[in-house]
């Protein structure tokens, strides 16, 4: 955020709304020429406190914050919710303006995927685990769009939520393997008061489903408590977590896994930093949540 004082009054620099990739790059280059660190928060919009926590973290470490809002079609499967994904640009814009964001990158699908685009970025192996197993092609879409966004925005730091734990592993691997010159910062999960992890998709839930959805965070809490009581065996922890989910028969489990947070491979014995991840359908809505043991 840029402040300047005119006749003793504080003026806040206006937020830029940029839809062209070339203009976005020019904005970032100008910031960097002025020795200002650019922090980047990629989102699909329909913003909530979880997104804003990333913006605040970016402000704490950077001079200018860029937020992208792009509902990326290539990360949605053919039978998924691309068409109905919540879009609330005016509200998002107001939230980001109050948060002091320097620029919103708000490209069209044509700007991001010009006709004839045939290039993909794929992180092999990792992209087929956890959500990647249930959503074939999902992470190929994520890594392709995030690579493009990194090239366009050219940030020094990029901020992601621990909420999407598999995405964090995939992006970290991509950045390492392809030598992207960007530091990845991962921020904790922001939850509703009753424990439900905030998500744009929570808007799909009706009142009954909203109550049922609490079972995801409750199952993770059960695992946390059991581990604190000395249980390290992942099979037993998984069984206990699944049992909590099954107590809510309207919720259909997709996966409940205990894995290494970097490789996403199952582990037998849980230690500090092990990832416990759950995904389930509440009605037609697929929700995810996770915890890092000992964090
Ligand atoms: P999305 O708009 O869902 O693609 O999310 C954009 C970014 O916000 C991703 O890095 C997410 O992991 C992060 N995010 C979404 N929900 C939360 C949450 N409840 N707490 C922290 N970060 C979140």
- Counting from 1 in the atom list of ligand 1, the atom nearest the Cα of 159 is 10
Active site positions, annotated: 51
Q: Which of 221, 154, 146, 231 is nearest to 191 (CA)?
A: 221
Residue with CA at minimum distance from ligand 1 atom 7: 43
- The CA distance from 70 to 237, in Å, is 37
- The residue to mutate among 42, 51, 190, having the most atoms of ligand 1 within 8 angstroms of its beta carbon, is 51
Burial class (CB in 10 A: 0-12, 13-18, 19+), 118: exposed
Both structure tokens of 75: 């990360």
207 CA to centre of ligand 1 in angstroms: 22
- Counting from 1 in the atom list of ligand 1, the atom nearest the Cα of 41 is 7
**Is any atom of ligand 1 closer than 6 Å to the C-beta of 43?**
yes
**Is any atom of ligand 1 closer than 6 Å to the C-beta of 290?**
no
Q: What pLDDT, on a 0 to 100 scale, did the predictor assign at position 12? A: 67
Q: What pLDDT, on a 0 to 100 scale, did the predictor assign at position 4? A: 46
Secondary structure (3-state) at 260: coil
Digit-by-digit pLDDT tens for the chain (295 residues) are 444 455 555 556 799 999 999 999 999 999 999 999 999 999 999 999 999 999 999 999 999 999 999 999 999 999 999 999 999 999 999 999 999 999 999 999 999 999 999 999 999 999 999 999 999 999 999 999 999 999 999 999 999 999 999 999 999 999 999 999 999 999 999 999 999 999 999 999 999 999 999 999 999 999 999 999 999 999 999 999 999 999 999 999 999 999 999 999 999 999 999 999 999 999 999 999 999 999 8
Q: What pLDDT, on a 0 to 100 scale, did the predictor assign at position 247? A: 96
Pairing mode, if any, of strands 38-43 and 157-161? parallel
DSSP string across 46-104 = S--HHHHHHHHHHHHH-SEEEEEE---GGGS-TTSSTTTS---HHHHHHHHHHTT-SEE
Q: How far apart are the first and last CA of the chain?
A: 31
Q: What pLDDT, on a 0 to 100 scale, did the predictor assign at position 8? A: 54
**Is any atom of ligand 1 closer than 6 Å to the C-beta of 161?**
yes
Residue with CA at minimum distance from ligand 1 atom 19: 198
Q: What is the pTM of this model?
A: 0.96
Residue with CA at minimum distance from ligand 1 atom 6: 43
**Is any atom of ligand 1 closer than 6 Å to the C-beta of 147?**
no
- Within a 10 A sphere around the Cβ of 125, how many other Cβ atoms? 13
Q: What pLDDT, on a 0 to 100 scale, did the predictor assign at position 5? A: 52
**Is any atom of ligand 1 closer than 6 Å to the C-beta of 189?**
yes
- The CA distance from 249 to 264, in Å, is 28
- Counting from 1 in the atom list of ligand 1, the atom nearest the Cα of 191 is 19
Q: Please state the φ and ψ torsions of residue 102, each to the nearest 5 degrees.
A: -75, -40
Alpha carbon distances (Å) from 22 to 14, 25, 33, 111, 147: 20, 5, 16, 10, 15
- Counting from 1 in the atom list of ligand 1, the atom nearest the Cα of 190 is 20
- The CA distance from 80 to 72, in Å, is 12
**Is any atom of ligand 1 closer than 6 Å to the C-beta of 55?**
no
Pairing mode, if any, of strands 183-187 and 275-282? unpaired
Q: What pLDDT, on a 0 to 100 scale, did the predictor assign at position 13? A: 79
Q: Say if residues 68 and 105 touch (Cβ distance below 8 Å).
A: yes
């Amino acid at each position: 955020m840029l402040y300047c004082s005119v006749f003793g009054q504080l003026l806040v620099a206006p937020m830029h709304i940029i839809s062209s990739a070339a203009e976005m790059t020019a904005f970032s280059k100008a910031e960097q020429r002025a020795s200002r660190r650019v922090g980047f928060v990629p989102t699909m919009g329909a913003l909530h406190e979880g997104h804003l926590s990333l913006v605040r973290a970016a402000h704490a470490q950077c001079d200018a914050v860029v937020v992208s809002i792009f509902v990326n079609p290539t990360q949605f499967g053919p039978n998924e919710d691309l068409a109905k994904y919540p879009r609330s640009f005016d509200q998002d814009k107001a939230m980001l303006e109050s948060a002091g964001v320097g620029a919103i990158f708000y490209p069209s699908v044509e700007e991001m995927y010009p006709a004839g685009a045939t290039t993909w970025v794929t992180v092999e192996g990792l992209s087929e685990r956890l959500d990647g197993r249930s959503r074939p092609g999902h992470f190929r879409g994520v890594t392709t769009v995030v690579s493009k966004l990194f090239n366009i925005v050219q940030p020094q730091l990029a901020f992601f939520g621990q909420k999407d734990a598999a995405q964090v592993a995939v992006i970290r691997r991509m950045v390492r393997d392809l030598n992207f010159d960007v530091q990845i910062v991962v921020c904790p999960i922001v939850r509703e008061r009753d424990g439900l992890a905030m998500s744009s998709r929570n808007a799909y839930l009706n009142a009954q489903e909203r109550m049922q959805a609490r079972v995801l965070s409750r199952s993770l809490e059960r695992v946390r408590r059991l581990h604190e009581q000395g249980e390290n065996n992942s099979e037993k922890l998984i069984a206990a977590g699944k049992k909590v989910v099954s107590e809510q028969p309207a919720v259909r489990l997709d996966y409940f896994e205990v894995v290494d947070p970097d490789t996403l491979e199952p582990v037998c014995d849980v230690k500090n930093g092990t990832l416990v991840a759950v995904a389930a359908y509440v009605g037609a809505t697929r929700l995810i949540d996770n915890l890092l043991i000992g964090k």
